[in-house]
């Protein structure tokens, strides 16, 4: 190559072109790889979770017939109408009847793998339809955790032979477990359900919404429409912007030190959880609310003021309704974030083992993300699947919420 | 009796007041119009005026009462002869009281604690007494407020102005919640931190290099040399500000550049929401992903390249996943900053014959740098405050090491560990969580504050 | 249109034949043919929205950066079609420089602003050579004396008129053959405008200069050739003196006498 100094200007430019275009292509490829990487990680995460979750929505069931007609148990169907029907059945020896039928069909080794409380599911079926007492009932009851593990070629080796044998006879099958969506927490992976956590999440979210939405919207209205330009307003704005970025765990510390000090009886309660999350969600609603209000053109305000409306009337009759879709979008996004939040709720004791679904805002509860966290500690393969299934449920909820937000944004947001 | 009853009754009183005042205003309007006059305010505003007077004082009292009455109930129960047999202090006494209260309230079926049964009746009686007192006062206040307002209604009464003033007070109060929250955070952290520093010297805490609090030890025998938080600070920085940023900054920045400068509109339409999904995944899910999938891969990789100490909980696993979580955040901040650079700048460079990548590297990124740096600061503040990923994947051992394959602990992990452990609330180990929280709060506050200022100046520079 | 070829005796620098530009469905330029002389300053005048800036941007393919823009017809630089496939826009823009309506110095030092072009194109073999190029360009743009002591200051710290001369110096630094100027004085005060106009006059002869302006006085002062655009069409093209004193077309006369625009 000749000395660059002797080359003409155009030749110099041309000489470098290939190198420059190669750099251009490399740079573009790098960008594409970066985006692709994120996409692949997301896909990998979703695929592993879904693959694990498929097992989590199922349980190992022992299937065998129970012959009630032969008269081993005498119960008057009329007695099953009352509130203590289960006690009636227990008194009539339903547990033994089930155990007997199980050992008849599954053998003693198989019957031993029927958990103690499994007969209650038969009891519920009988209460649902007492006429079943007159015939043969095909029971499908959860197998013990050990047998379920053996069916997955996991856990204790000595049970695997039994599991294979029962499975070959069609007496031990893996079936979709509707109960997973309707039960509370339990100690074994075969018996757990997410309804308790889900209900806890809903109650908590309701408290959060009832507190954060009105406060957030009113604060946004004040700051955007009425606040005088002074030091106080500046402090409020700085507070809100900073609160939006404070780590969530700090809100947990606040909840612990303040809310639990005021209401010591409501430890683990959705009320306290909701209050804590409300403080976290409120800044999000204020910020999105302000943007939505800012987007309403001043001409609307002028028009309302010009016909003699007061400033309060102008805002509440005209500005707020127009800004509402934007505010709602921000609210849903903030609520979705709160729904997935775990750390602050650990701080205020929502990590306790709560077997029965909460029956109010003040009873001990857990929420879905915390439930996931609690189960994640268990190394049992069955719990891994259940945890993944709970994650899929949580992600579905978030997907629906975000989808709703996007729909609202596209459907109602006007461009002025 | 449910706490909702006084609230509902107060609201009912308000509704009655609203209706009564409105119909009275209608009647007044008819009379005034017959003489050719006009009311100052619409009848609805008279309604709201009376309604607010009926509801607000009553509700305020009900709120205060609901936080006061449990203590009053407890006082009365403790003065009951049946309470003489209680243990003087400690967990057992609290457990007995809590159970008796739960039984009295109708929750829980069986009594585990000896002695709780005897307290059920006193509890029930006391709860009833105070609930009735609360209800009566609420009703009286609601009625008195409503009546006071109702009697003030006149044709020229400025109901609208007054209602609007109340609305303004409500608006101002709502925006003060933000200040109250900030103040509450600061106050609670400061208070508990001060208690911690009365036992452990701040110097030991901030500069000590050994962290190993024992929550079960005798509080009086606690010494500062187990409360050196430097390993926690290092773990936090190493995971959140070094490993996570090493992943998030290049990937986030390049994603933003590709999506804004190169991608076809169709590709952008699909890829941007995808990044948003990545941002919407809850941290507990990332934590589980890190612990279940990434950590074993990292450990095996560590063993493969000959790091014998590679552990199944590692700084690298937590940092990598945290970095992935932060990608969308960095990307959207970079996106905003690059978009804020005027088109003229880009045109100027392209018109000189620069290629796209030269324009991006030499003009757009330098011009957007303040915004990008601020975005990275916000990302760091988010990463060091992130809790679930490190709790689930980073480990509990406080270590001063630069080996990313070893387990390492962080500030947030220790906050969770200290507050969910066995220690009593007054133990320095528990209180140390608040000191750690204070450090975390101040650092993130500083990062956010500086970053928001930089962003603001940066935006103004191009406007 | 036959008159075009006889307008100047020397070979044209740029020849445009039947050029139309579309933005999506909308036609912004309709069948324009013109020759740009290497010797003279050519002014494009016309009411706002007439397409004169759009047409200017087709000459160095800056329209490529606008999504949905499409160019039909032929534009040739020294007889080579600049829209043919395989035409390199980077090389093209190194030969056809551009100065924009609003001064757009990069947020870098004055020195770096000028050095940017020579650097990316590899025009300087050494640091001293680069410094020479910077000095020469600033001198030619008449800015050297004002900034020689503060070359490391940010380019954005200069006054508006200085910024625009900096942008002209930046364009000169890569030794283009053509300089396109898109209303270069519209954001400047009258004194700065006069300074730029002087500069354009000094640069004439070394570069083919095309200037878009909304000011007829400016066109009359700086240009030797003028094209009048209206509603996406080129209505008239000729010697500036002819256009202003003796326009052939009625519409040109109306515009020049201030009937519309």
Q: What mean pLDDT is reported for chain C?
A: 89
Question: Taking the domains of chain B in order of start, what are their residue ranges?
Answer: 4-157, 223-462
Please report the residues numbered 221 through 250 in chain B whose beta carbons come closer than 8 angstroms to any beta carbon of chain A: 250
| Total structural domains within chain A | 2
A151 and A232 co-located in one domain: no
Q: B107–A340: do the CB atoms touch at under 8 Å?
A: no
A28 contacts chain B (CB < 8 A): yes
B401 with B408: CB under 8 angstroms? yes
B372 with B253: CB under 8 angstroms? yes
Q: Which residues of C touch A10 (CB under 8 A)?
A: 91, 95
- Please name which of B141, B177, B175, B2 lies closest in space to residue B61, comparing C-alpha atoms: B141
Assigned domain for A1 exists: no
CATH assignment, B223-462: 1.10.3720.10
pLDDT confidence tier of residue A290, bands split at 50, 70 and 90: very high
Nearest CA in chain B to C61: B351
- Residue B18's SS3 state is helix
- Please name which of B383, B377, B381, B284 lies closest in space to residue B324, comparing C-alpha atoms: B383
- Answer whether residue C5 shows pLDDT above 50: no
Give the β-pairing of C178-182 and C96-99. parallel
How confident is the model over C125-139, as pLDDT tens digits?
889 999 999 999 999
Q: What mean pLDDT is reported for chain A?
A: 86
- Residue A289's SS3 state is helix
- Residue B231's SS3 state is helix
Domain closes at, from A175, A203, A219: A175
Q: B352–C108: do the CB atoms touch at under 8 Å?
A: no
Q: Could you tell me the residue range of the domain that residue C104 belongs to?
A: 2-256
Q: How far apart are CA B138 and CA B227, in angstroms?
A: 50
The three-point CA angle C118-C166-C16 to 5° equals 70
Q: Which residues of C touch B348 (CB under 8 A)?
A: 100, 104-106, 167, 170
How confident is the model over A309-368, as pLDDT tens digits?
888 888 888 899 989 988 999 999 999 999 999 999 999 888 878 888 888 888 888 999
The values of phi and psi at residue B174, to 5°, are -60, -40
How confident is the model over C32-78, as pLDDT tens digits?
999 998 889 999 998 888 889 999 999 999 888 787 888 999 999 99
Residues 6 or more apart whose Cβ sits within 8 Å of residue C32: C16, C18, C19, C20, C55, C73, C229, C233, C234
A285 and A371 co-located in one domain: yes
Q: B350–C174: do the CB atoms touch at under 8 Å?
A: no
A379 and A310 co-located in one domain: yes
Assigned domain for A182 exists: no
A201 and A157 co-located in one domain: no
Q: Is B424 left (phi over 0), alpha (psi -120 to 50) or beta?
A: beta
Assigned domain for A27 exists: no
Best B341, B342, B350, B353 residue to mutate vs chain C (most C CBs within 10 Å) = B353
- Answer whether residue C3 shows pLDDT above 70: no
A246 contacts chain C (CB < 8 A): no
Assigned domain for A165 exists: yes
- Answer whether residue A294 shows pLDDT above 70: yes
Alpha-carbon distance A409 to nearest alpha carbon in chain C (angstroms)? 25
Low-confidence ranges of chain B (pLDDT < 70): 1-3, 85, 87-92, 94, 105-116, 423, 463
What string of DSSP letters covers A301-362?
HHHHHHTT--HHHIIIIIIHHHHHHHHHHHHHHHHHHHHT--HHHHHTTTTS---SPP-STT
Sheet holding C69-77, edge to edge: C26-36, C14-23, C69-77, C80-81
Q: Which residues of A touch C122 (CB under 8 A)?
A: 4, 12-13, 15-16
pLDDT for B220 equals: 72
Q: B412–A346: do the CB atoms touch at under 8 Å?
A: no
A12 → closest Cβ in C88, C95, C123: C123
Structure tokens at A99: 């155990």
Please report the residues numbered 367 through 386 in chain A whose beta carbons come closer than 8 angstroms to any beta carbon of chain B: 369-370, 372-373, 376, 384
pLDDT confidence tier of residue C2, bands split at 50, 70 and 90: very low
A237 and A330 co-located in one domain: yes
Q: Which residue has the higher pLDDT, A324 or A263?
A: A324
Q: Could you tell me the residue range of the domain that residue A274 belongs to?
A: 195-412
Best A2, A6, A12, A20 residue to mutate vs chain C (most C CBs within 10 Å) = A12
Assigned domain for C94 exists: yes
| Total structural domains within chain C | 1
Q: How far apart are CA A161 and CA B10, in angstroms?
A: 68
Q: How far apart are CA B434 and CA B197, in angstroms?
A: 10
Q: C123–A15: do the CB atoms touch at under 8 Å?
A: no
Assigned domain for C261 exists: no
Nearest CA in chain A to B98: A265
**This model's pTM is above 0.90:** no
A266 and A390 co-located in one domain: yes
How confident is the model over A24-66, as pLDDT tens digits?
999 999 999 999 999 999 999 999 999 989 888 988 888 888 8
A12 → closest Cβ in C88, C95, C122: C122
Best C106, C160, C166, C180 residue to mutate vs chain B (most B CBs within 10 Å) = C106
Please report the residues numbered 304 through 323 in chain B whose beta carbons come closer than 8 angstroms to any beta carbon of chain A: none
Residues 6 or more apart whose Cβ sits within 8 Å of residue C84: none
Q: Which residues of B touch C171 (CB under 8 A)?
A: 351-352
Q: Which residue has the higher pLDDT, A117 or B373?
A: B373
The three-point CA angle A395-A399-A403 to 5° equals 175
A230 and A87 co-located in one domain: no
CATH number of the domain that C76 lies in? Answer: 3.40.50.300
Please report the residues numbered 158 through 177 in chain B whose beta carbons come closer than 8 angstroms to any beta carbon of chain A: 160, 164, 167-168, 170-172, 174-177
> What value does the mean pLDDT take over residues A102-118?
83
A9 → closest Cβ in C90, C120, C123: C123
B345 → closest Cβ in C62, C90, C104: C104
A47 with A391: CB under 8 angstroms? no
- Answer whether residue A134 shows pLDDT above 90: no
CA atoms within 13 A on the CB side of B143: 7
- Residue A366's SS3 state is coil
A147 and A203 co-located in one domain: no
Q: Which residues of A touch C175 (CB under 8 A)?
A: 9
Q: Which residues of B touch A226 (CB under 8 A)?
A: 168, 171
Alpha-carbon distance B323 to nearest alpha carbon in chain A (angstroms)? 11
How confident is the model over B256-295, as pLDDT tens digits?
999 999 999 899 888 888 888 888 899 999 999 999 999 9
- Within its chain, how far is the Cα of B103 from the centroid? 33
Give the β-pairing of C233-239 and C208-212. unpaired
Please report the residues numbered 123 through 162 in chain C whose beta carbons come closer than 8 angstroms to any beta carbon of chain A: 123, 125, 129
Nearest CA in chain B to C115: B352
A14 contacts chain C (CB < 8 A): yes
CATH number of the domain that A280 lies in? Answer: 1.10.3720.10
């Amino acid at each position: 190559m000749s000395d660059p100094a002797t080359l003409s200007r155009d030749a110099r430019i041309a000489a470098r072109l290939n190198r420059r275009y190669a750099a251009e292509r490399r740079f573009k490829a790098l960008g594409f790889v970066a985006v692709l990487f994120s996409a692949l990680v997301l896909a990998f995460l979703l695929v592993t979770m879904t693959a694990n979750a498929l097992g989590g929505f199922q349980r190992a069931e022992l299937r065998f017939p129970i012959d009630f007609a032969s008269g081993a148990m005498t119960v008057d169907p009329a007695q099953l109408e009352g509130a203590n029907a289960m006690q009636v059945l227990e008194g009539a020896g339903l547990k033994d009847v089930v155990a007997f039928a199980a050992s008849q069909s599954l053998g003693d080794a198989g019957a031993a793998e029927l958990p103690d409380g499994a007969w209650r599911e038969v009891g519920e079926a009988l209460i649902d339809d007492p006429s079943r007492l007159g015939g043969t009932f095909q029971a499908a009851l959860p197998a013990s955790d050990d047998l379920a593990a053996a069916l997955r070629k996991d856990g204790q080796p000595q049970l695997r032979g039994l599991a294979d044998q029962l499975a070959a006879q069609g007496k031990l099958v893996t079936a979709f477990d509707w109960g997973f969506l309707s039960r509370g927490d339990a100690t074994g992976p075969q018996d757990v359900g997410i309804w308790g956590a889900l209900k806890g999440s809903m109650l908590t979210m309701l408290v959060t919404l009832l507190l954060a939405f009105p406060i957030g919207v009113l604060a946004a209205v004040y700051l955007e429409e009425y606040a005088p330009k002074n030091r106080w307003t500046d402090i409020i704005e700085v507070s809100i912007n900073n609160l939006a970025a404070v780590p969530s765990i700090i809100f947990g510390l606040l909840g612990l030190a303040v809310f639990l000090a005021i209401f010591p009886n409501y430890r683990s309660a959705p009320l306290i959880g909701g209050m804590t999350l409300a403080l976290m969600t409120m800044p999000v609603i204020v910020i999105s609310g302000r943007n939505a209000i800012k987007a309403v053109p001043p001409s609307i305000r002028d028009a309302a003021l010009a016909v003699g409306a007061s400033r309060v009337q102008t805002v509440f009759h005209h500005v707020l309704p127009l800004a509402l879709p934007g505010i709602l979008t921000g609210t849903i996004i903030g609520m979705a974030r709160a729904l997935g939040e775990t750390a602050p709720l650990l701080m205020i004791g929502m990590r306790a083992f709560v077997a029965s679904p909460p029956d109010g805002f003040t009873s001990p509860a857990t929420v879905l993300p915390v439930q996931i966290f609690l189960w994640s500690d268990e190394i049992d393969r069955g719990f891994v699947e259940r945890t993944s299934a709970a994650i899929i449920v949580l992600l579905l909820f978030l997907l629906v919420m975000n989808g709703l937000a996007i729909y609202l944004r596209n459907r109602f947001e006007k461009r002025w | 009796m449910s706490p909702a009853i006084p609230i509902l009754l107060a609201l009912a009183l308000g509704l009655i007041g609203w209706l009564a005042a409105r119909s009275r205003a209608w009647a007044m309007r008819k009379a005034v119009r017959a003489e050719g006059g006009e009311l100052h305010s619409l009848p609805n505003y008279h309604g709201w005026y009376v309604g607010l007077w009926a509801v607000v004082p009553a509700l305020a009292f009900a709120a205060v009462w609901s936080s006061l009455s449990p203590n009053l109930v407890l006082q009365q129960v403790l003065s009951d002869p049946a309470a003489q047999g209680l243990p003087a202090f400690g967990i057992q006494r609290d457990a007995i009281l809590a159970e008796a209260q739960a039984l009295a309230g109708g929750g829980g079926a069986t009594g585990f604690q000896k002695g709780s049964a005897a307290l059920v009746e006193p509890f029930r009686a006391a709860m009833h007494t105070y609930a009735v007192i609360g209800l009566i006062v609420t009703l009286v206040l609601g009625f008195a407020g409503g009546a006071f307002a109702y009697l003030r209604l006149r044709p020229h009464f400025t109901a609208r102005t007054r209602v609007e003033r109340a609305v303004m007070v409500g608006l101002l109060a709502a925006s003060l919640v933000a200040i109250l929250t900030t103040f509450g955070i600061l106050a609670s952290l400061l208070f508990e931190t001060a208690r911690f520093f009365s036992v452990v010297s701040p110097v030991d805490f901030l500069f000590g290099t050994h962290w190993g609090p024992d929550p079960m030890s005798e509080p009086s025998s606690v010494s500062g040399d187990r409360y050196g938080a430097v390993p926690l600070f290092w773990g936090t920085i190493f995971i959140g500000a070094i490993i996570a940023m090493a992943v998030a900054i290049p990937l986030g920045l390049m994603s933003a550049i590709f999506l804004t400068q190169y991608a076809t509109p169709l590709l952008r339409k699909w890829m941007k929401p995808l990044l948003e999904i990545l941002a919407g995944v809850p941290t507990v899910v990332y934590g589980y992903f890190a612990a279940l999938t990434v950590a074993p891969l990292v450990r095996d990789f560590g063993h493969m390249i000959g790091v014998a100490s590679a552990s199944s909980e590692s700084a690298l696993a937590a940092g990598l996943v945290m970095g992935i979580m932060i990608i969308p955040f960095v990307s959207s901040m970079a996106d905003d900053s690059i978009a804020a650079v005027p088109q003229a700048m880009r045109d100027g460079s392209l018109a000189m014959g620069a290629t796209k990548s030269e324009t991006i590297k030499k003009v757009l990124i330098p011009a957007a740098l303040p915004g990008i740096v601020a975005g990275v600061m916000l990302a760091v503040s988010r990463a060091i405050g992130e809790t679930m990923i490190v709790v689930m994947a980073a480990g509990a051992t406080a270590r001063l090491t630069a080996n990313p394959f070893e387990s390492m602990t962080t500030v947030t992990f220790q906050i969770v560990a200290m507050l969910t452990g066995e220690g009593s609330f007054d133990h320095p180990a528990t209180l140390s969580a608040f000191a750690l929280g204070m450090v975390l709060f101040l650092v993130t506050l500083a990062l956010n504050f500086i970053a928001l200022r930089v962003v603001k100046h940066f935006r103004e520079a191009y406007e | 249109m036959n008159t075009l070829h006889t307008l100047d005796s020397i070979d044209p620098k740029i020849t445009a034949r039947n050029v139309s530009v579309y933005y999506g469905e909308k036609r912004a330029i309709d069948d324009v043919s013109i020759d740009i002389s290497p010797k003279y300053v050519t002014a494009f005048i016309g009411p706002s929205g007439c397409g004169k800036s759009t047409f200017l941007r087709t000459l160095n393919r800056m329209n490529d950066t606008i999504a949905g823009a499409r160019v039909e017809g032929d534009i040739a630089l020294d007889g080579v079609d600049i829209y043919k496939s395989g035409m390199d826009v980077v090389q093209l823009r190194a030969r056809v420089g551009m100065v924009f309506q609003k001064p757009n110095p990069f947020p870098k030092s004055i020195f770096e602003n000028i050095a940017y072009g020579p650097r990316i194109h590899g025009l300087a073999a050494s640091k001293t050579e680069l410094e020479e190029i910077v000095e020469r360009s600033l001198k030619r743009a008449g800015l050297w004396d004002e900034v020689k002591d503060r070359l490391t200051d940010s380019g954005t710290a200069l006054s508006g008129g200085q910024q625009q001369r900096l942008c002209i110096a930046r364009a000169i630094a890569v030794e283009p053959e053509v300089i396109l100027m898109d209303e270069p004085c519209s954001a400047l005060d009258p004194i700065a405008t006069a300074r730029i106009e002087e500069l354009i006059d000094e640069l004439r002869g070394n570069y083919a200069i095309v200037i878009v302006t909304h000011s007829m006085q400016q066109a009359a002062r700086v240009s030797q050739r003028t094209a009048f655009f209206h509603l996406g069409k080129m209505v008239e093209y000729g010697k500036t003196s002819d256009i202003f004193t003796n326009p052939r077309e009625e519409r040109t006369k109306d515009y020049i006498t201030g009937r519309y625009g």
